[in-house]
Structure 1
């Protein structure tokens, strides 16, 4: 049985001006493709029913550098076996290092402010020198280079130098534990490791030399370790500093041609239920998907400034980097999003460098809202055109907060996709109105639908988010033994030849979308399917609750909803207040049977709540990959949960 809560929040909060629509990439592309822009649903149907023509037009409109070949799409009876641009030749880095040589392409910032900026000419030189250094170490097309890097200009240059050779880049954030790093890059046997030896977070310095030494002991095929901020010798390795790697006279990088489907990145799932999946993404699929999303859906233009708060382990890092292909500049930030004395540090940076597209998370916006910040009173944000959010569903009330306290004329877009596709299924656009709590549209070229258990497309009902047609950024494979089988089992076992993504979603009559969270964390009390996001949307707005987590625990052949909250005021009256809010703003079926007070909520390194790990710990089972958690000690509260009193 499935029940749907028809959103009462479905009110329009923003509408693009005619001028904005006329000057958008999306309007220009529709004209270029000789297709009407409106109704958008027709344009979208054309994009998924004429896949070869659409993606070929994307290549041409974006001015992809390379040889396209005479075919853009070769269909197959099996969705994952479809071929894209089988005769194309291109280089990923060449497509990013483009445009005027004197324009600024990247700003580097941390908790202490903006450190420096680089022009395209300067970045090209650093990439060229790093490329020559990697060549001297024997790195060539198809080899894997791993980075344990912060989000800064050196890390960017290392990535681009690797891709310029046709080699594969994979990265972890330096705040991972050694086991978390080894569980990821240890799978893919990198030839070279490029690593920082220290980083800063919340105004505290962290030295990670011992962690790097422990990591290298498990990387058996390394030919060299490159250190980014120190001369420390890593035992039993060929260690070079970044300066030594780049000690050559190279000025311009050379670009090794690759096939469209050659590997570019290896990304990792969160790994909270086992060893992280190592997902291999292609050169052409990544590039084409990102320029389409940046230009058509985010309306990213030449000389705009793109920012996303991310670390180098998350999918949004390569998504940010690809902004260079649209000749935008990047704001690269490493550190905490908030400082002890300044919640608005990121917005200070945004004002200073003129950020046009600000990428963040619902949690960060919630922090600002609970602190009663009013950015329109403290910051000019004259350049700001769009606020983008992902990592969790954006609550309806957060739409109101953004437009009331941040800026009235901006495109607010919650976007949703995943590491598995290195992109998005549903997004905003510069030509769509924004409705509270809803994601405006299906991304062009993505045959997105919501299917129930019968396989029928449904509206105003929660069901599985799927994609029914191939797209270029589907993974090449999962790295390692049995990778192809593991890949197909992950997304095609439930519905052969239809990508079932694993999210619970709803299509509205506005042709917009609401995401309710992962289907594997869906609650089923009394046989009623409930998305955890529906409860978070209420609870996280209750004053006094710092964080919360919801999951179901078995009870007499059924399931009880368990709510865990981080608060200093849980008593019977407060618990009743929480239940009353959930009952009135969601439904009686969403009301938790048990409410517990806990010290902390488990999150991944990227800030996502980990309901599965908490539930596993509460059931007294082993959490198989605590190294994926930012705060594994938080699980201690959950291991004792069923022995504690609840309200």
Structure 2
């Protein structure tokens, strides 16, 4: 049984939004649900009641009310619509709070200690100006706009503005390469592309003017389409943001009322198995799921300050900004998560007053490696959401010991396909190291064996979802008849969504462990020999039985590493190995392995190792002369 790292505070449990909601359900539906598990079971067996109760309980603004929440006769592969008859607007809900209170704090590598602050009224005005300009430029409901930029107030306001007029938006990070942008922007051919001509990362200024221009010219934009600079300067042929906004006529901000499943955000798959798929999410789906996760699972309200390191092209960024639905303040950061050093950057984030500090597992590994002590900076933090992968038991214990035993760790698992999570957490239950806590409310998640039947708790199998949910994709872009959509999720088991991950449920704790697919263990270390001008990174993978190291797996790892950390963390070499070296205390031999890669046999001349450690490390001696061996992939950066 894994170590218990958090025992929830009984007083907090009583006052939590989750407990208040459970009592609301008991009162209004004549029930006596006693626990989270009771509530979850009800949420998946009485689906119309559950989703309708959320509509009534959560602070949703709508101009037309739904006739019902869900048609329970339909299967998940029918891709049913939810909340039929309702009309609403995502932007109206995300800007529902008004006043002089702070809505957003935003900072970058140049203003680490003096972030920009926008009140709710100021954010609303920023959106009004953009909406006015978009309308004056002929952008209307159903049109596509793109944003290439950082996690900034401008990016946020543009995304909200698209929702206000019923437009569709796709966002991309500034370090996206030409091919990445061409394969995605070329599919959707936006009417306007907002882009920064340069960006700062890890203390360096990167000019991407030619990259953006090449993409814009290559996609052959339709007549009247426009390339707008959101940066400090405007390249020739581009329109400055000030000039674009000057077209506005002073219109008051109005919110286009749209049906629940109106397309809004396009998120793209990685493209490792072919052309990237444009996954289209709806205004209503992102609204209802965002409110559910932030209010009930994160317990966010007007007192919360939420930060999660993410680029605007990642689904997590869209999930993060959903905290605004709850009246919470969000913190945006544009730059390296380790600039000018891991400790100084952490201190800068914490100085904004965050109560919810989110980052991926690899981020915490980097803090551990750098021997950063977070305790002096933790301040008001009461929860640490983590996404992208499951926090390991070692990481969970380190976070508890260094951020505080009172801090609730919430490891989530979901993805681009739902712009949300199948697996979530709650501050009302104990937390166990190395486990996800609970199934997300309303998500009928299960574990199937190869025969399409549920496996017993304790055994691993396919992560599946058996019932529809409102934040399912509306469609894939350019997917006639939803053929690619159905092939992606519904071909393996009838009437069941197969997500592509393995999962196991702990019969003692009820915690969930996402097992992934191919990799059992891994170690990443650097090599810099005397003849090497700079350090190269090696990633050694211990694969599960029957699995092989493929170019597809390499690309997935590269994409995730660049997304969660940075390009400089992407390994140059990938190799499958039979053993990962550990010492007797269960710690990976990262420093000794780096010495072996950099010094060869000399690494053993003066260092002391046990016989077992030496034997494990000697397996890696051939990689000292990596140019002479094959069987791996060299990353093209």
Shorter-chain-normalised TM-score: which range? 0.7 to 0.9
RMSD: 3.3
Look up the match of 1:369: 368
Q: Deviations over 1:478-530 (max 9, x none)?
A: 1014471111101111012100000111111122101112x3xx2xxxxxxxx
Look up the match of 1:330: 330
Look up the match of 1:502: 500
Change (3 A) 1:448 1:245: same
Q: Give the counterpart of 2:435 among 418, 435, 438.
A: 438
Cα distance in 1 for partners of 2:24, 2:243 equals 48
The equivalences for 1:203-218 within 5 A come to 203-218=203-218
Alignment partner of 1:232 is 2:234:
yes
Contact kept, 8 Å, 1:13 with 1:400, in 2: the verdict is yes
- DSSP-derived class of the 1:420 partner: coil
Cα distance in 2 for partners of 1:599, 1:116 equals 50
Cα distance in 2 for partners of 1:410, 1:56 equals 32
Q: Deviations over 1:15-68 (max 9, x none)?
A: 110111112111111112225553321111100011111111112222110033
How far did 1:592 drift? 13
Change (3 A) 1:556 1:346: closer
The equivalences for 1:153-172 within 5 A come to 153-172=153-172
Change (3 A) 1:485 1:23: same
The equivalences for 1:185-224 within 5 A come to 185-222=185-222, 223-224=225-226
Look up the match of 1:39: 35
Look up the match of 1:472: 470
Look up the match of 1:515: 514
- DSSP-derived class of the 1:353 partner: coil
Q: Deviations over 1:328-379 (max 9, x none)?
A: 1110100000124x21234222332110111101111001112222211x22
Look up the match of 2:98: 100
Cα distance in 1 for partners of 2:432, 2:397 equals 10
Look up the match of 2:562: none
- DSSP-derived class of the 1:535 partner: strand
How far did 1:456 drift? 2.4
Cα distance in 2 for partners of 1:489, 1:556 equals 23
How far did 1:632 drift? 4.5
Change (3 A) 1:264 1:556: closer
Contact kept, 8 Å, 1:563 with 1:595, in 2: the verdict is no
Alignment partner of 1:359 is 2:358:
yes
Contact kept, 8 Å, 2:75 with 2:467, in 1: the verdict is no
Q: Give the counterpart of 1:406 among 387, 390, 403.
A: 403
Contact kept, 8 Å, 2:521 with 2:543, in 1: the verdict is no
Cα distance in 2 for partners of 1:251, 1:136 equals 10
Contact kept, 8 Å, 1:562 with 1:593, in 2: the verdict is no
Cα distance in 2 for partners of 1:44, 1:499 equals 19
Q: Deviations over 1:391-421 (max 9, x none)?
A: 1221101111011111220111111001011
Gaps spanning 5+ residues in structure 2: where? 529-535, 551-575, 581-589
How far did 1:321 drift? 1.5
Look up the match of 2:539: 548
Gaps spanning 5+ residues in structure 1: where? 1-7, 523-531, 585-590, 601-616, 621-630, 635-647
Cα distance in 2 for partners of 1:120, 1:423 equals 25
Alignment partner of 1:50 is 2:52:
no
Change (3 A) 1:556 1:71: closer
- DSSP-derived class of the 2:200 partner: strand
Structure 1 window deviating more from structure 2 (465-474 vs 35-44): it is: 35-44
Change (3 A) 1:131 1:549: farther
Alignment partner of 1:27 is 2:19:
yes
Contact kept, 8 Å, 1:549 with 1:563, in 2: the verdict is no
Number of residue-to-residue matches in the alignment:
572
How far did 1:558 drift? 13
Cα distance in 2 for partners of 1:599, 1:90 equals 62
Contact kept, 8 Å, 2:524 with 2:540, in 1: the verdict is no
Cα distance in 2 for partners of 1:135, 1:478 equals 27
Look up the match of 1:587: none
Q: Deviations over 1:103-139 (max 9, x none)?
A: 1110111123143110111111111111011111111
Cα distance in 1 for partners of 2:105, 2:53 equals 32
Contact kept, 8 Å, 1:567 with 1:597, in 2: the verdict is no
Change (3 A) 1:234 1:460: farther
Q: Deviations over 1:602-622 (max 9, x none)?
A: xxxxxxxxxxxxxxx9578xx
Cα distance in 1 for partners of 2:213, 2:124 equals 31
User: TM-score, structure 1 length as denominator?
Assistant: 0.82
Cα distance in 2 for partners of 1:562, 1:554 equals 11
- DSSP-derived class of the 2:453 partner: coil
Contact kept, 8 Å, 2:525 with 2:538, in 1: the verdict is no
Cα distance in 2 for partners of 1:556, 1:18 equals 46
Cα distance in 1 for partners of 2:429, 2:372 equals 28
Contact kept, 8 Å, 1:202 with 1:335, in 2: the verdict is yes
How far did 1:77 drift? 4.1
Contact kept, 8 Å, 1:268 with 1:277, in 2: the verdict is yes
- DSSP-derived class of the 1:550 partner: strand
Contact kept, 8 Å, 1:562 with 1:592, in 2: the verdict is no
Look up the match of 1:123: 123
Contact kept, 8 Å, 1:337 with 1:345, in 2: the verdict is no
Change (3 A) 1:14 1:245: same
How far did 1:599 drift? 11
Cα distance in 2 for partners of 1:558, 1:252 equals 56
Cα distance in 2 for partners of 1:548, 1:328 equals 39
Cα distance in 1 for partners of 2:149, 2:60 equals 28
How far did 1:273 drift? 2.8
The equivalences for 1:626-637 within 5 A come to 632-633=635-636
Cα distance in 2 for partners of 1:547, 1:26 equals 45
Look up the match of 2:10: 18
Cα distance in 2 for partners of 1:467, 1:155 equals 33
Q: Give the counterpart of 1:491 among 489, 492, 498.
A: 489
Change (3 A) 1:51 1:443: same
How far did 1:252 drift? 4.2
